[in-house]
């Protein structure tokens, strides 16, 4: 019998997780967690989208030092962990699967968000040419990031331990099905990877192997704590997001995925092109198929997830080309029933950009479904 090409709507096993379909809700920062604590509105928001094969939460800070934006959730204080329980229970009751994205922003922060008003931390003391979001009188305001200080090598093990604590909080206490390590979009782990932000001269800078060292130490520790089958990782080889840049990304990320192959990860989540922008950048060519081949050649068994600028036809093409999962971000904002709309070929609702960051239910939990429209 001829081999049948998988579809977006086929079930799939991803590490320890059995998913109902191959459509993933990508992480989307929405700035609706005052005091860095999840709430009932967030539980409603995620539950509305539980028909996704997998939900990846908005990026969630592993510590106050790791926070870079106003009103984003955390996973380090007891009240935060307890509040996440309501989210995971509600999503599971609706038949969904949900993992928490573990986030340390590094230099993409502001002194007003840091412990005791200190400087953000980074591999090197290089200010990111980007902005972060603060809230003033409930209104999001974009401000320049603050000048960071370079982390000392002796501080890095403590940050690794913070990743582990957050992973344990997520899986062992808060009820998440797993975690995703955020190593993309110019945040701390990506800052270590890329030479534009890492100009260290110690064992964590210089060569590809040294720049990847911190990331691999985090992955080893987190998989050891909760099991590789419940851990994914997000990478963005060429995105310019948050002033991320490396002049030679192919050998860097080929090395990274070959090293990741040995950890038994549930999945590798790759942003192709510029995050939230074009899939092909004229000044930053990259062979994503070659990246996947490098991972598989190193005996990597995790599911391969593709993200950025996908519609239904392109997503199906990606699945037919050998990827296992496809992630949709912004379409999930205005379409809580995105899976059903894609399955039935129905038009998608355009979300209100003015409500993306901060606010309440408007533009968050009030979008219609096909059944309620």
Q: How far is CA 343 from CA 7, 72, 337, in A?
A: 10, 32, 10
Residue with tokens 């198929």: 289
CA distance 363 to 355: 5
Q: Are 307 and 327 in contact (CB under 8 A)?
A: yes
Please provide residue 65's backbone torsions phi and psi, each rounded to the nearest 5 degrees.
-60, -30
- Per-residue pLDDT, 278: 87
The structural domains of the chain, ordered by start, are 12-355 (3.20.20.70)
- Per-residue pLDDT, 139: 83
pTM: 0.97
Q: Are 54 and 24 in contact (CB under 8 A)?
A: yes
Active-site residue 187, yes or no?
yes
Q: Which of 187, 255, 288, 367 is catalytic?
A: 187
Please provide residue 142's backbone torsions phi and psi, each rounded to the nearest 5 degrees.
-90, 125
- Per-residue pLDDT, 337: 98
CA distance 78 to 65: 17
CA distance 51 to 46: 10
- Per-residue pLDDT, 5: 82
- Per-residue pLDDT, 282: 84
Which stretches of the chain score pLDDT less than 50?
none
Q: Over the stretch 14-26, which tens digit does the pLDDT of each residue have?
A: 999 999 999 999 9
Q: How far is CA 94 from CA 22, 44, 52, 77, 361, in A?
A: 17, 11, 11, 27, 20
CA distance 171 to 230: 8
- Per-residue pLDDT, 3: 65
Closest alpha carbon to 358 in 58, 49, 71, 25: 71
Q: Over the stretch 184-239, which tens digit does the pLDDT of each residue have?
A: 999 999 999 999 999 999 999 999 999 999 999 999 999 999 999 999 999 999 99
């Amino acid at each position: 019998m001829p081999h049948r090409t998988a579809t977006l709507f086929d079930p799939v096993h991803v590490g320890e997780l059995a998913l109902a379909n191959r459509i993933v809700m990508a992480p989307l920062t929405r700035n609706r967690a005052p005091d860095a604590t999840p709430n009932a509105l967030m539980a409603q928001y995620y539950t509305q989208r539980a028909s996704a094969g997998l939900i990846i939460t908005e990026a969630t800070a592993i510590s106050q030092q790791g926070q870079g934006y106003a009103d984003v959730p955390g996973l380090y204080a007891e009240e935060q962990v307890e509040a996440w329980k309501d989210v995971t229970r509600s999503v599971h009751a609706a038949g969904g699967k949900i993992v928490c994205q573990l986030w340390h922003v590094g230099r993409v922060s502001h002194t007003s968000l840091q412990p005791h008003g200190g400087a953000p931390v980074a591999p090197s003391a290089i200010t990111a040419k980007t902005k972060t979001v603060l809230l003033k009188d409930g209104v999001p305001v974009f401000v320049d990031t603050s000048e960071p200080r370079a982390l000392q090598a002796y501080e890095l093990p403590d940050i690794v331990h913070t990743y582990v604590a957050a992973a344990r909080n997520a899986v062992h206490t808060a009820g998440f099905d797993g975690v995703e390590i955020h190593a993309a979009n110019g945040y701390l782990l990506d800052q270590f990877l890329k030479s534009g932000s890492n100009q260290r001269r110690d064992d964590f800078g210089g060569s590809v192997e040294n720049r990847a060292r911190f990331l691999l130490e985090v992955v080893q520790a987190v998989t050891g704590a909760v099991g590789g089958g419940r851990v994914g990782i997000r990478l963005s080889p060429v995105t310019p997001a948050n002033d991320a840049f490396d002049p030679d990304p192919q050998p860097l990320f080929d090395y990274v995925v070959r090293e990741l192959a040995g950890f038994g990860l549930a999945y590798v989540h790759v942003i192709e092109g510029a995050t939230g922008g074009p899939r092909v950048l004229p000044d930053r060519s990259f062979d994503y198929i070659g990246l996947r081949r490098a991972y598989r050649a190193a005996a990597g068994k995790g599911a391969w997830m593709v993200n950025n600028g996908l519609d239904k036809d392109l997503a199906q093409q990606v699945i037919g080309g050998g990827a296992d999962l496809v992630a949709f971000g912004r379409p999930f904002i205005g379409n809580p029933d995105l899976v059903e709309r894609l399955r039935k070929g129905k038009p998608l609702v355009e979300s209100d950009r003015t409500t993306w960051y901060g606010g309440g239910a408007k533009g968050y939990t009030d979008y219609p479904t096909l059944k309620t429209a």
